[in-house]
């Protein structure tokens, strides 16, 4: 009797252990599957960072954009995959007391300009038209590759915009605006051509939430620094430089990003908590209804970094090193090429001794004709037509 009970206990203990093991194995396979399912399917990352304001007192917008640029580069996105648009040059601005620097912390702690900044669209090239051309891909064929957004259907794109904005628009260069409708249409054009897998849109302007109200394409997540009717405020002025160095929202986002490293597992929900009203004075907003995955499962590095999916190569092919098939290819390379030489860059002798070119005479056109006709008409109006006989 006494032996039976421990035997039963032992059996039940063994059964429990077995179940436990099975459970653990099942749980790990379920977890693998879950991991599999919630991972984003992207293979490359792009970033489009736009600063839309010019003039020295908008220093903070350039500093905002450069901070995000710096974080994105640090986390792994290479320059070839970043389109950086800065509407004005602060580092070499004549009013900059510390040339070749752009600071983001007061007391000049952090120079975000660095020495490997690659600006793709600078100064007057930052226009609404160029921005939309970059997004939609309708670029003239002569554009260099660094100015193109060559994303495909497996690209996650980060779009960060900053500047002065209002309800439904963002001001570019103090002379034009982009409306939220145009932006939403541009994203729809991108979706139609499958130029992105997932898109994260961050905007740091006054009334920034109005810019993402009109989005209607799938797989877009948007963050803004303030709601409609609120202003986004700047962070801290630096008395040595004389302007405000950063905007609050981007300042706190930068602090948040400084803690992220390429292998971190922080997700988007943490990014949504950055800069609450007590710190930011404005209320940051976000929009996730168009996004397929739960923000809980979206890693920060899915957009800000470039973590590639890798697979171990297990297959090889076997090559025959004595393959004689290539012998026949050699004659093709034996074209005799004549030695190349440079064209005369500056034919000095020709320039010094040339005679002035005979310019063909063209009859006066347009403005000159009109001016003379006006003068003659006024003359005859004043003095009467009878004076014509003195001319002819």
Give 86-101 as a DSSP string: ESS-STT-TT-SSTT-
CA distance 375 to 379: 6
Beta partners for residue 161, in sequence order: 50, 203
- The question of whether 164 is a catalytic residue gets the answer yes
Q: Does 168 bind other proteins (CB under 8 A)?
A: no
SS3 155: strand
CA distance 138 to 13: 69
Q: Does 255 bind other proteins (CB under 8 A)?
A: no
Quick one: which segment of 31-39, 166-174, 252-260, 375-383 binds other proteins (CB under 8 A)? 31-39
Smallest gap from residue 287 Cβ to other proteins (A): 19
Smallest gap from residue 18 Cβ to other proteins (A): 23
Which residue's CB is nearer to other proteins, number 142 or number 382?
Answer: 142
Quick one: which segment of 134-142, 205-213, 224-232, 273-281 binds other proteins (CB under 8 A)? 134-142
Please give the torsion angle defined by the CA atoms of residues 99, 105, 111 and 112, in that order, rounded to the nearest 10 degrees.
-110
List Cβ neighbours of 227 (8 Å cut-off, separation of 6 or more). 207, 209, 282, 283, 285
Q: Does 391 bind other proteins (CB under 8 A)?
A: no
- 51, 206, 275, 280: which is the annotated catalytic residue? 206
- The question of whether 390 is a catalytic residue gets the answer no
List Cβ neighbours of 295 (8 Å cut-off, separation of 6 or more). 221, 267, 268, 269, 272, 288
CA distance 291 to 198: 8
Q: Does 314 bind other proteins (CB under 8 A)?
A: yes
Which residue's CB is nearer to other proteins, number 46 or number 113?
Answer: 46
For the record, the structure tokens of 121 come out as 């669209």
Which residue's CB is nearer to other proteins, number 103 or number 169?
Answer: 169
Q: Does 213 bind other proteins (CB under 8 A)?
A: no
Which residue's CB is nearer to other proteins, number 313 or number 358?
Answer: 313
Smallest gap from residue 210 Cβ to other proteins (A): 17
Q: Does 312 bind other proteins (CB under 8 A)?
A: yes
Quick one: which segment of 74-82, 85-93, 240-248, 384-392 binds other proteins (CB under 8 A)? 74-82
Provide φ and ψ at 24, rounded to 5°. Answer: -65, -40
One residue of 43, 101, 227, 267 binding other proteins per CB under 8 A: 43
One residue of 94, 140, 331, 384 binding other proteins per CB under 8 A: 140
Smallest gap from residue 224 Cβ to other proteins (A): 23
DSSP 8-state assignment for residue 159: E
Q: State CA 126 to chain mean position distance.
A: 12
Specify the pairing of strand 176-179 against strand 82-86.
unpaired
One residue of 101, 111, 189, 283 binding other proteins per CB under 8 A: 189
Site for other proteins in 350-389 (CB under 8 A): none
Q: How many CB atoms lie within 10 A of CB 87?
A: 25
Angle, vertex CA 211, rays to CA 208 and CA 217, nearest 5: 140
State whether the Cα torsion 192-194-198-201 is positive or negative.
negative
Site for other proteins in 256-275 (CB under 8 A): 262-263
Active site residues: 164, 206
Positions that interact with other proteins (CB under 8 A): 36-37, 39-41, 43-44, 76-80, 128-129, 132-133, 136-140, 145-146, 148, 150, 152-154, 182, 185, 189, 192-194, 262-263, 292, 305-321, 323, 325-326, 329
């Amino acid at each position: 009797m006494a032996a039976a009970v421990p035997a039963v206990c032992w059996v039940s203990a063994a059964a429990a252990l077995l179940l436990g093991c099975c459970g653990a194995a099942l749980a790990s396979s379920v977890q693998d599957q879950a991991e599999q399912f919630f991972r984003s399917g992207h293979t490359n990352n792009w970033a489009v960072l736009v600063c839309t304001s010019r003039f020295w007192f908008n220093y903070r917008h350039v500093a905002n954009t450069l901070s995000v640029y710096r974080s994105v580069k640090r986390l792994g996105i290479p320059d070839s995959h970043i389109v950086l648009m800065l509407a004005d040059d602060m580092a070499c601005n004549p009013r900059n007391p510390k040339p070749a620097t752009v600071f983001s912390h007061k007391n000049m702690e952090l120079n975000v300009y660095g020495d490997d900044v690659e600006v793709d669209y600078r100064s007057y090239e930052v226009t609404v038209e160029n921005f939309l051309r970059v997004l939609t891909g309708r670029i003239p064929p002569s554009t260099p590759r660094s100015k193109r957004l060559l994303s495909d259907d497996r690209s996650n794109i980060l779009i960060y915009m900053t500047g002065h904005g209002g309800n439904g628009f963002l001001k570019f260069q103090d002379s034009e605006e982009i409306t939220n409708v145009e932006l939403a249409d541009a994203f729809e054009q991108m979706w139609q051509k499958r130029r992105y897998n997932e898109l994260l849109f961050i905007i740091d302007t006054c009334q920034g939430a109005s810019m993402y109200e009109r989005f209607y394409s799938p797989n877009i997540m948007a963050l803004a620094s303030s709601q409609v009717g609120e202003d986004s405020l700047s962070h801290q002025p630096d008395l040595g430089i004389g302007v405000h160095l950063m905007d609050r929202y981007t300042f706190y986002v930068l602090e948040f990003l400084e803690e992220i490293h390429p292998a971190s597992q922080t997700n988007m929900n943490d990014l949504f908590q950055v800069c609450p009203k007590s710190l930011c004075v404005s209320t940051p907003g976000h929009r996730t209804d168009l996004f397929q995955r739960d923000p809980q499962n979206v890693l920060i590095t899915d957009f800000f970094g470039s973590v590639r999916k890798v697979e171990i190569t297990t297959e090889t092919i076997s090559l025959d090193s004595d393959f004689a098939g290539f012998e026949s290819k050699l004659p093709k390379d034996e074209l005799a090429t004549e030695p190349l030489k440079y064209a005369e860059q500056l034919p000095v002798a020709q320039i010094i001794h040339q005679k002035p070119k005979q310019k063909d005479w063209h009859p006066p056109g347009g403005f000159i004709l009109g001016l003379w006709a006006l003068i003659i008409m006024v003359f005859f109006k004043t003095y009467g037509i009878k004076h014509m006989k003195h001319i002819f």
